[in-house]
Structure 1
Amino acid sequence: MAVVGYVPGAWDMFHIGHLNILKRAREHCDTLVVGVVTDDALTAMKGNPPIVPFEERMAIVAAIGIVDEVVADDSSDKLRVWQRVHFDILFKGDDWRGTAKGQRLEESLATVGASVHYFPYTLTTSSTELRRVITSW
């Protein structure tokens, strides 16, 4: 049976950490679906709009050659996207492991038989740090 993997993210200012999680996810599933969080949802979740507009972030993720499908993700509730994609595994950075939000995500997805798989977070580069540098110029 083919395994469908899902990686949600902002993918704003695409960097090596983004590439790392996608490459690792690709190794653990037969079909890799990537969710790009919409501008409105990102602004609501993080309090700031993305630097790179939604359509451009979608195009960048679709163009890297290791992704089978790119979908819009408009909610922090991953059951909503599961209803459209029916993924088996959701991949996240291990900065979520052991946190309240990670636990809620695991419990929520378990209700539909999906699991969460964590990968090491890339400490050297983050979108938050890139944003800080850009906005301080």
Structure 2
Amino acid sequence: MRIITFGTFDMFHVGHLRLLERARRAGGHLTVGVSSDQLNYTKKGRNPICNEVDRCRIIKALACVDEVFVEESLELKREYIRRYQADALVMGDDWQGKFDDLADLCQVIYLPRTPSISTTALIEVVQSMPNVGTSVA
């Protein structure tokens, strides 16, 4: 079974890894759409910390991932599912119900998120740290 999932994957953390590993276990082939920098800005109102090229490199390096592409638009999910011949769309349960309309194309699976970890929280912690962005001689 071919699985597709999507995400920004900024500030890669264990929650991202767990989601991708579980998505891979749901099928034999995992394709990951990494949100473009522009899409991330549109969704979240801020640029990602890591650029799309670096985020794609990180995701592609994972043993559980077979294929990576840049997701340009949320409205293109149907096209991406068709293009990559996905049998199932796997997303974190923070998206619960938001992709049910795609069930006519493929199975839609929502997996529980890893508790107590999020990219937004990590960014906030790092930004609140004293001396972030300063160099030590």
Fold in common (TM above 0.5): yes
TM-score (norm 2): 0.87
Specify which of 108, 111, 117 is matched with residue 125 of structure 1: 117
Give 1:27 deviation, angstroms: 0.7
What fraction of aligned residue pairs are identical, expressed as a percent? 38
Equivalences for residues 20-39 of structure 1 within 5 A: 20-39=18-37
- Provide the C-alpha distance between the structure 2 equivalents of 1:82 and 1:74, rounded to a whole number of angstroms: 14
Equivalences for residues 54-133 of structure 1 within 5 A: 54-77=52-75, 78-97=77-96, 102-103=97-98, 105-107=99-101, 109-112=102-105, 114-133=106-125
- Provide the C-alpha distance between the structure 1 equivalents of 2:88 and 2:18, rounded to a whole number of angstroms: 17
Q: Could you say which structure has the larger radius of gyration?
A: 2
Give 1:127 deviation, angstroms: 0.4
- Provide the C-alpha distance between the structure 1 equivalents of 2:82 and 2:72, rounded to a whole number of angstroms: 13
TM-score (norm 1): 0.87
Unaligned stretches of 5+ in structure 1? Answer: none
- Provide the C-alpha distance between the structure 2 equivalents of 1:110 and 1:95, rounded to a whole number of angstroms: 18
- Provide the C-alpha distance between the structure 1 equivalents of 2:10 and 2:79, rounded to a whole number of angstroms: 22
Give 1:35 deviation, angstroms: 0.8
- Structure 1 counterpart of 2:135: none
Deviates more, 1:15-24 or 1:116-125: 116-125
Counterpart of 1:110, as a letter, is A
C-alpha distance after superposition, 1:60-109 (max 9, x if no partner): 00111111101111111211322321211111111222xxxx24x111x1
- Provide the C-alpha distance between the structure 2 equivalents of 1:58 and 1:110, rounded to a whole number of angstroms: 27
Counterpart of 1:83, as a letter, is R
3-state SS of 2:18 partner: helix
3-state SS of 1:67 partner: coil
Aligned residues: 128
- Provide the C-alpha distance between the structure 1 equivalents of 2:127 and 2:112, rounded to a whole number of angstroms: 27
Structure 1's consecutive aligned runs of 4 or more residues displaced over 2 angstroms after TM superposition are: 134-137
Deviates more, 1:125-134 or 1:4-13: 125-134
